[in-house]
Amino acid sequence: MNGGGQRKRGPDPGRPGRTQPGPGGAGRRGHPGPAPAPREAKAGPAQRPGASPHAAGPGPAAKASAPGRREATVGAYMTRAVVAVTPETPLPRACRVMLDHKISCVVVADGERPLGLISERTLTRRVGLGKPLEVPARSAMSSPPLCCPPDRTLAEALEDMRARHVRRLLVTEGGRLAGIITQGDLLEASRRQLAELAERHGRLRETARRDELTGLYNRRAFDSAFGRELGRVRRYGGLLSLAVFDLDHFKAVNDRFGHQAGDEVLRRFAATLRDCCREVDVPARHGGEEFAVMLPAAGTRAAAVYAERVRRETAALEVPAGGERLRVTVSAGVCKWTRATDSMRAMLAAADRELYRAKRAGRNRVCVAE
């Protein structure tokens, strides 16, 4: 079997009602393939004589190879629109079909049963050997065609191409022509899979940095961000503040209204933290009902204004719980970076001292380290 290269064009052909790219022969580089006709459609007046389309819809193998279910198969990435000629089509007319459709090969088929291929390489070799061109397609085609089922994996199809030194495989199902898969298709599939893998990895990485209940950064992600910002301030100078929050009497909320109500309180409070933050601030759930917010380029005055706003909005929250309207308050401690608090541990300790001072002073207030 001889054949030239192909590059797949256009969107995934598995979606119904849309024009599918790439006919049975591979399209030349830079040229889209023709629009396919449905499998049951017959050749219309706009088609060249001797050319008959064979379009196959997505088979069960294509559905089974959806991302995330199992290894990708040929059926998911093959071109389902194939341009074919009959065995008795004169070779010059087959060449005209290839020229009109801007493709590098055509399939020779008897109905829906593929018999062989006629490619640019086949024609070049025939001319070079001085063989006559005024012959039927049956006499000039490369046969038998190399075929594979739609449930063959992409890796297996690529190995078939490598072992047989070809650039395309016809895809058959029950002896009927279903599509064509080329090296270009496999390359595109590999690129798509790599992109999906990178996207999935990014989502997993982001999920690992988030608290599942509130959606805020978890302690590990917060400590990492705080360490980077602290290093920047140490090197270049500037302001950096830290505010820690603790919901007042939160254990009593869980005991009286249940953990579902407690979880809803945590979600509402986390949303309040986010709404009050600037774009550069980093809010996080630091553990249990304790939250921390890193405020870059902010001194204690700005941080205290932020914490006071959070305190007021939290006190105004009403959370439905068992037919009642649950209200909560929060206490906060604020500190800023200084030479005396030149580490994350020292800043957390200073902010915690102010938080406990707010608790001892009656709760529902903000205390700031001087």
Q: Which residue has the higher pLDDT, 167 or 40?
A: 167
Q: What is the pLDDT of residue 350?
A: 96
CATH number where 86 lies: 3.10.580.10
Range of the domain at 92: 51-201
Mean pLDDT for the chain overall: 82
Query: How many folded domains does the chain comprise?
Result: 2
Same structural domain, 297 and 359: yes
Say if residue 264's pLDDT is above 50: yes
Kindly indicate the confidence band of residue 24, based on its pLDDT and cuts at 50, 70 and 90: very low
Same structural domain, 169 and 236: no
- Per the annotation, the verdict on 206 as an active-site residue is no
Single out the residue of 298, 198, 289 nearest to residue 243, CA to CA: 298
Domain end: 178, 201, 224, which one?
201
Give the pLDDT mean for 119-133.
87
Q: Which residue has the higher pLDDT, 41 or 147?
A: 147
Tens of pLDDT, residue by residue over 93-114, are 999 998 898 888 889 999 889 9
Same structural domain, 224 and 338: yes
How much is the pTM?
Answer: 0.56
Domain end: 166, 201, 236, which one?
201
Q: What is the pLDDT of residue 269?
A: 96
Same structural domain, 170 and 310: no
Same structural domain, 66 and 163: yes
Residue holding tokens 């959070």? 310
Tens of pLDDT, residue by residue over 167-222, are 889 999 888 899 888 888 888 888 888 898 899 988 888 888 999 999 999 999 99
Same structural domain, 250 and 271: yes
Give the pLDDT mean for 64-74.
59
Q: Which residue has the higher pLDDT, 82 or 21?
A: 82
SS3 annotation, 112-181: CEEEEEEEHHHHHHHHHCCCCCCCEHHHHCECCCCEECCCCEHHHHHHHHHHHCCCEEEEEECCEEEEEE
Kindly indicate the confidence band of residue 70, based on its pLDDT and cuts at 50, 70 and 90: low
Cβ pair 104, 128 in contact under 8 A: no
Per-residue CA distances from 61 to 19, 73, 170 (Å): 21, 7, 15
Domain end: 175, 201, 227, which one?
201
Residue 22 lies in a domain: no
Same structural domain, 337 and 361: yes
Give the pLDDT mean for 220-232.
94
Same structural domain, 324 and 241: yes
Same structural domain, 103 and 196: yes
Number of residues assigned to the chain: 370
User: Which position among 112, 120, 264, 289 bears the catalytic label?
Assistant: 289
Residue holding tokens 């200073």? 350
Residue holding tokens 């040229």? 31
CATH number where 307 lies: 3.30.70.270
Same structural domain, 250 and 193: no
Residue 41 lies in a domain: no
- Using omega within 30 degrees of 0 as the cis cutoff, is the peptide bond preceding 53 cis? no
